[in-house]
Chain A
């Protein structure tokens, strides 16, 4: 049973460009969250999608947007890239009906470098 899969694994973009990252949740999971992890820091919550809607958002600018598809997969889009957007982007999935105790299942992330 595949866990959370993310693509691509690595990406290099130029400042000002746009990027799209993709995530397929674990089988049976319908909720997808995105996190940004800067070097030497813990992950920070970007937003969460459920039923194709953004359910909750962290403290990130509107340059960060997302989408969830009917098959529960998700995309993270970042416009007008800044050097500070360089980070590991982690996708996490969970069953919406899951217990509060559930530890989200994370993917291995996409490492984005903005030059």
Chain B
């Protein structure tokens, strides 16, 4: 079974500061991918960043970086230089390569980020 845990229901960050959103996961699949999505109030899930379980380096995409600690089974999202438009729900998700469910994403319960001016 695969499981994603996001323990921060809500986070606040000052504009232009950095913020870390936590994500831990559990899987018995030897090969998997970890994703972060942003969901604004419009409802659309926007893909932010991907980390593969065998990737040697942490993923980065612009202001987003993923702090991947495989031994701890954590995949925290770091947003640098926060902007007002970053206020949204953020979801961590996982996809296993070999186990049943290779074609779908397992999501956590999300973290609501609010950027304060």
Which residues of A does B touch, CB under 8 Å?
A: 31, 33, 40-45, 48, 55-56, 58, 88, 90, 92, 100-101, 103-109, 111
Q: Check A103–B47 contact: CB distance below 8 A.
A: yes
Q: How many A-B residue pairs have CB under 8 A?
A: 61
Q: Check A100–B43 contact: CB distance below 8 A.
A: no
Shortest C-beta distance, A95 to chain B (Å), equals 13
Hey, which chain B residues are within 8 Å of A103, CB to CB? 35, 37, 47-48, 50
Q: For residue B4, which residue of chain A has the nearest CB?
A: A42
Q: Which of A101, A103, A108 has the most CB of B within 10 A?
A: A103
Q: Check B109–A42 contact: CB distance below 8 A.
A: yes
Shortest C-beta distance, A61 to chain B (Å), equals 17
Q: Check B44–A108 contact: CB distance below 8 A.
A: yes
A106 to B110, CA, bound (A): 16
Q: Check B44–A107 contact: CB distance below 8 A.
A: yes
Q: Check B109–A56 contact: CB distance below 8 A.
A: no
Hey, which chain B residues are within 8 Å of A109, CB to CB? 43-44
Instruction: Tell me the count of chain B residues lying within 8 A, CB to CB, of chain A.
Output: 27
Hey, which chain B residues are within 8 Å of A90, CB to CB? 43, 45
Q: Which of B33, B35, B45, B109 has the most CB of A within 10 A?
A: B45
Q: For residue B32, which residue of chain A has the nearest CB?
A: A100
Stretch at the interface among B68-76, B78-86, B99-107: B99-107
The 5 A-B pairs of least Cβ separation, nearest first, read A42-B107, A103-B47, A106-B45, A45-B104, A109-B43
Q: Check A42–B43 contact: CB distance below 8 A.
A: no
Shortest C-beta distance, B39 to chain A (Å), equals 9
Shortest C-beta distance, B108 to chain A (Å), equals 5
A108 to B40, CA, bound (A): 10
Q: Check A48–B104 contact: CB distance below 8 A.
A: yes
Q: Check A111–B43 contact: CB distance below 8 A.
A: yes
A111 to B44, CA, bound (A): 12
Hey, which chain A residues are within 8 Å of B108, CB to CB? 42
21 contacts between A and B (CB under 8 A): A41-B110, A42-B4, A42-B108, A43-B91, A44-B107, A48-B103, A48-B104, A55-B103, A56-B100, A58-B104, A88-B43, A90-B43, A92-B45, A101-B52, A104-B47, A106-B37, A106-B45, A106-B46, A108-B43, A108-B44, A109-B44
